Amino acid sequence: MKDEFLDNLIKALAIPVIGIVLLWLIFSIEIRYNLNFNFLGIYPREFKGIIGIICSPFIHSNISHLYSNTIPLLVLGSSLYFFYSKSATKVMVWGILVSGLLTWCIGRPSYHIGASGLIYVLFSFILFKGIFTKHYRLIALSLMVVFIYGSMIWYTIPIKEGVSWEGHLSGFIVGLVFALIFDVAIEKPKLYDWEQPNFNEVDDAFLNQFDENGYFFELEPEAVLLDEVEEETSNIASTSTLPKHQNFVYSYKPTNLDAN
C-alpha cells in the first residue's frame, strides 16, 4: 500500500515538475541572451496575438512573476494528477487552449503573458469538481485549495494595475465548465457484508450467536455423520497423488542361453 502511494505521488509530481523546469529554462534563456519573448503573448482580437494562446503560459515578465506562479503550479498540478489522474492531461491541455482563446476574446489590447490563466483553471476545476462529486476526499481537497488559495478569487476582477484579470477570469470560468462536463473515475467505498442490499440476518453466522435479548452465546459444534466422514475420506484417497501399493508377481522364464 505504501509503495503504491509513493508510485502515484511520483507520477503526480512528474509532469508539473517538468513543466516548471521548462518555464525556468525559457526564462533563463531570455536573461542569458538578453531576449524578450513578450511578443509571443496573447494580444486580444489581433491576428498576431493568436500564437499567444499556446505560447503565453511559458512567458513571464520577470523572476518575481515566474516565482509567484511556480508554487501554485506545483501544488495544484500535482493535486490534479494525483486525485484526477485520468482527466488531468485533458484538463491541462484544453485548459491552456480554451482559457487562452477566451482571454484573446475579452482581454484589453495588450500582451497577456504568464501561466496564471492555467493556474486559475486548475484552482477552479479542483474546487468545483470536489463539490460536484460529493466524495469526501475530493471535498477535503476542495476545502484545502480554498484555504490555501482562496484569495485568488479577488484577482478575477480589475483591482491591481498590470495584472491580467481577464486571463484569471477566463481560467476560472473554464475550470468551472470543465468541472461540469468532464467525468472522473471515483473510487467507490468498500461495502461490508451487512451493508450489502441483499444481506440477510438469518443467514449470518455471527449474528446467529446472539439470542433475542442480545446476549452472546457460543454455538455448539454440529455433529458430523459417519457416512459423510467416510465419503470425505474416500474422496481424499481418490484424489491423492501418493503412489498406491502395487502387487507384483514374478515368474522365471528360461532364455536360449539357459537352454545351452
Q: What kind of fold does domain 2-181 have according to CATH?
A: Rhomboid-like fold (1.20.1540)
The H or E element spanning position 3 is helix 2-32
Closest of 72, 68, 51, 71 to residue 60, by C-alpha? 68
Give tens-digit pLDDT for 124-169. 999 999 999 988 899 999 999 999 999 999 999 999 888 999 999 9
* The predicted structure's pLDDT at residue 223: 41
Closest of 41, 163, 16, 31 to residue 91, by C-alpha? 16
* The predicted structure's pLDDT at residue 3: 76
* The predicted structure's pLDDT at residue 5: 83
Residue segments in the chain with a per-residue pLDDT below the cut of 50: 223-227, 248-252, 257-260
- Cβ-contact 92, 81 below 8 angstroms: no
Q: For residues 241 and 153, what is the distance between their CA atoms, to the nearest angstrom?
A: 74
* The predicted structure's pLDDT at residue 198: 75
57 CB-side CA count, 13 A: 26
pTM of the model: 0.73
* The predicted structure's pLDDT at residue 217: 64
* The predicted structure's pLDDT at residue 218: 65
Give tens-digit pLDDT for 218-246. 655 554 444 455 555 555 555 555 555 55
Domain spans of the chain? 2-181
The C-alpha cell of 167 is what? 486571463
- CA-to-CA dists, residue 133 to 11, 81, 91, angstroms: 23, 17, 17
